[in-house]
A and B are shown apart, each in its own frame.
Chain A
């Protein structure tokens, strides 16, 4: 493997700025790695060699002219195939939109372009981002870089596994009910689900407008901070984007974390936790203790009801947006996505609206009872050992509802509350598959999550491990 591919996005950006390497050299390293990874992992939908090399040459030329090209100048990236670029087709993992040219470019892509990143491809994902496992019945299932027989997690499946395989430096994902944090856990990379409204959703395929968030998956927490800083902030094209100023996440990254209070949930999150995952999570808490953090038990209220309320919102909003296609071309959905949309079509107006009305009270309860006691909550991403793709290939059958509920159980309440959550790799399960914890913070306090996650990565080396190509 090229030394360049071992670098994080931040390291590569620094090396390019220091003229130790170039965007063209990085692109020449990543393009063959991406093709090779795709053969094994089915993680790319499209790779544009010629366009990417031309863009990399332009980036290098701009830098040679002394132009300040941005904090990600020259860094090659591929993104989940649901971020629109004007005139290009985004499959959204589906059969339905694969030939539909996008009317405008996503704000997140425009901001990454402005930061100097160079896009070289688009990544496989769950159909319409509506599934947590990484199965895709149109484009083929995405496979885990650590063992291709196992789940990548979804819906940002290609984002997780391509970054883990060192076939991509960083990727945009999206998180409506765990779709950034699940692939981060299953593939062993870092991922941030930002506060609702922190990043513009304009030009990103919608799944549930009340719950959708846009964020990166990357090799390190520092990369996530760099990426989020580049894409966050108010956007006139998205009325739900927040006007709150975006802090300089990188400037605060090295600040000590001593004295920070980390809460460990006494209920819900650790119910029926796999002993192997529990051991890894406990070891990560020991690392935070060594860094001077205070670890305290914290009671967590209301999660079951919030989980179910979040489920009703996503189901109803997804069904509303897909209503025309569901009526006119139901056969063009996979069984699983069609079955889930059918459930949403039956959510009543009272259910949906009361789930939205309850949300404010739920967040107030969380802030008063949890965040008044701790600075962040440390929790598992999933409670079970990583299963194989075959074991979880339930399609739209009788076991589907149970599986979906199991996989998203620790994710969806966080989306319902609109909170930021950072997934950080913390070791390997007994069968060699990665594991991550999530750190859940106060609204718009991504900066503290990055500080904690970065301090953890400075004290450990899990993020430097890489799968055998």
Chain B
């Protein structure tokens, strides 16, 4: 992990052309790290072949 996630995140957004308010950088970096941890756990639950389009079919087939 980077030693200063807030700075890394600020730099990443700068590359995207978005100027992040310095006062918000630490809070944003913390939230995104939490999101990344959740994504790692959640991704273990899905099949290798899973793709987003399956959702619309399941929604339709889930109707009574």
Interface size class of chain B, counting residues whose CB lies under 8 Å from the partner chain: 35 or more
Chain A residues near B63 (CB-CB < 8 A): 244, 442-445
With a CB–CB cut-off of 8 A, which chain A residues contact B27?
398, 400-401
Q: Is A312 close to B, CB under 8 A? A: yes
Report the nearest B residue to A368, measured CB to CB: B62
Q: Is the CB of B35 within 8 A of A443?
A: no
**How far is it, in angstroms, between the C-alpha of A443 and the C-alpha of B17 when the chains are bound?**
40
Given contacts A305-B41, A309-B42, A312-B39, whether A346 and B60 have CB atoms under 8 Å apart is no
The secondary-structure label for the interface of chain B is helix
B58 touches A342 (CB 8 A): no
B1-46 interface with A by 8 A CB criterion? 9, 12-13, 16-21, 24, 27-29, 31-32, 34-36, 38-39, 41-43, 45-46
What residues of B have a CB within 8 angstroms of the CB of A355 in the complex?
39, 42
Tell me the smallest distance from the CB of B47 to a CB of chain A, in Å: 8
Report A-chain residues with C-beta under 8 Å of the C-beta of B36: 348, 351
Q: Does A464 contact B (CB under 8 A)?
A: no
- In the assembled complex, the Cα of A400 lies from the Cα of B28 at a distance in Å of 10
State in angstroms the CA–CA spacing of A343 and B21 once bound together. 11
Q: What interface size band does chain A fall in?
A: 35 or more
Q: Is the interface of A mostly helix, strand, loop or mixed?
A: helix
In the bound complex, what is the Cα–Cα distance between A371 and B63 (angstroms)?
11
Q: Which partner residue on chain B sits nearest A322 by CB separation?
A: B18
Whole-angstrom distance between the alpha carbons of A244 and B59 in the complex? 11
A-B CB proximity, top 3 nearest: A360-B54, A356-B52, A444-B63
What would be 21 A-B contacts, judged by CB atoms less than 8 Å apart?
A197-B59, A244-B60, A308-B38, A326-B18, A330-B19, A339-B21, A339-B24, A339-B28, A342-B24, A346-B29, A351-B39, A354-B43, A357-B43, A357-B46, A360-B58, A363-B58, A364-B58, A396-B21, A400-B27, A418-B59, A443-B62
